[in-house]
Amino acid sequence: MAADPPGFELPLRLFLGFRVIIDELHAELARQGHPDLRPMHGFVLQAIGPEGTTAVELGRRLGVSKQAAGKTVEALERLGYVERGSDPRDARRKIVRLTGRGVDSLVRSARIFDDLRAGWAKTLGEDRLRALEADLRAVTPADAFRLDVPGWFGGY
Amino acid sequence: MAADPPGFELPLRLFLGFRVIIDELHAELARQGHPDLRPMHGFVLQAIGPEGTTAVELGRRLGVSKQAAGKTVEALERLGYVERGSDPRDARRKIVRLTGRGVDSLVRSARIFDDLRAGWAKTLGEDRLRALEADLRAVTPADAFRLDVPGWFGGY
DNA sequence: CTAAACTCGTCAACAAAGTTGTCGGAACGG
DNA sequence: CCGTTCCGACAACTTTGTTGACGAGTTTAG
């Protein structure tokens, strides 16, 4: 009988799968008028949500400091995906909101993700893809996504 | 019948799976005497290999510039995982080699990865884990690992 | 055999994203 | 009403990446 695959292949494949999807998403997003969006930005825009949020709250959701969240918002503002306004009910808060362009990128992303999933379903079969998703759900936390990838990966 | 899961869940789970494994690997590595190793370092040490290599070649393998590879080597050298020597047959080249400590970290990593995989096998069953690995192989390139994650994810 | 072309490592300048620490203004609560 | 807490901003720094330039060593073409 065959030996077990070496343990290091699993994380490699997981990451490669993630990267393949994200790369294809952004290639398609670039074709659809969003060439400046980086992988991280999609997660940030998602974390901001339709209601808008503040830098501190955003930092909490993403698992990074409020300063880091502030810098990212600044970059996204330069690109035209979010805008900052003041809260009439609390002069301390500045609310970050998605612009029309920001919402558009999110809507397109959702459709592209669905298309990419359909591509996997065609290769693997819907049944096995569902099994794969179920298995991954069984071994990963339900937790929110952490955005501190550069620091996490690269090290501090 | 149930609707398809939204497409964005798949990449999320893939990344979460990757992150769970890598986090557990490094927690265990820290317990076993390697608290300073960061996720990236393991891939770099693996890319250096038992034969050693040069900064330029390392950069090629990792998909980053030779300067970036050189800086990473420098950091790994400070931590005692690699050492640099000269090539008697080509005075331009400086060969980066693993130290005993570097090799030790790789050996331990391999065993920990196997243990973590065994944990997944216990949760999912060996059959489904093998199916998961086979499916991931079917949808990911056979390519080498790219180390430019911070830049890739964060954006340039 | 020499001269051009390429390769390797390093230095310098810069960008992006993260960290901690500090601080002033605004809101809240005893 | 005054102290505490919360928010946003600024500053200084670290890490890791990027180009561009350059000197030294090796290869190759003429």
Residue A133 and residue B124 in contact, taking contact as beta carbons nearer than 8 Å: no
Residue A105's pLDDT is 95
pLDDT bracket for residue A154 (50, 70, 90): confident
Q: Which chain B residues are closer than 8 Å to A116 by Cβ?
A: 7, 10
Asked whether the predicted pLDDT for residue A156 surpasses 70, the reply is no
Q: Give the side-chain half-sphere CA count within 13 A for B102.
A: 26
Higher pLDDT, B32 or A5: B32
Asked whether the predicted pLDDT for residue B46 surpasses 60, the reply is yes
Test A40 with B132 for CB contact under 8 angstroms.
no
Asked whether the predicted pLDDT for residue B41 surpasses 60, the reply is yes
Beta bridge partners of A83: A97
Residue B52 and residue B96 in contact, taking contact as beta carbons nearer than 8 Å: yes
Residues with CB under 7 A from strand D: A 54-57, 66-67, 70, 92-95, 154-156; B 38, 40, 64-65, 67-68, 71-72, 75, 89-92, 147-148, 150-151, 156
Name the residue type at position B59.
G
Q: Which chain A residues are closer than 8 Å to B40 by Cβ?
A: 153-155
Q: State, as a whole number of angstroms, the distance between the CA of B4 and the C1' of C22.
A: 50
The ranges assigned to domains in chain B are: 17-141
User: Which CATH architecture does the domain made up of B17-141 adopt?
Assistant: Orthogonal Bundle (1.10)
Count other Cβ atoms within 10 Å, centred on residue B129: 21
Residue A63 and residue A72 in contact, taking contact as beta carbons nearer than 8 Å: no
Asked whether the predicted pLDDT for residue B70 surpasses 80, the reply is yes
Closest-CA residue of A relative to B153 is A39
Test B133 with A41 for CB contact under 8 angstroms.
no
Q: How close does chain B come to A144, measured CA to CA in Å?
A: 9
Percentage above 90 pLDDT, chain A:
79
Residue B156's pLDDT is 57
Q: State, as a whole number of angstroms, the distance between the CA of A67 and the C1' of C22.
A: 13
Residue A148's pLDDT is 82
Q: State, as a whole number of angstroms, the distance between the CA of B91 and the C1' of D23.
A: 13
Asked whether the predicted pLDDT for residue A142 surpasses 60, the reply is yes
Residue B152 and residue A39 in contact, taking contact as beta carbons nearer than 8 Å: yes
List of residues 6+ apart from B121 with CB closer than 8 A: A4, B129
pLDDT for A100-130, tens place per residue?
999 999 999 999 999 999 999 999 999 999 9
pLDDT for A68-78, tens place per residue?
999 999 999 99
Asked whether the predicted pLDDT for residue A135 surpasses 70, the reply is yes
Task: State the greatest distance between any 2 C-alpha atoms of chain B, in Å, as a whole number.
Answer: 69
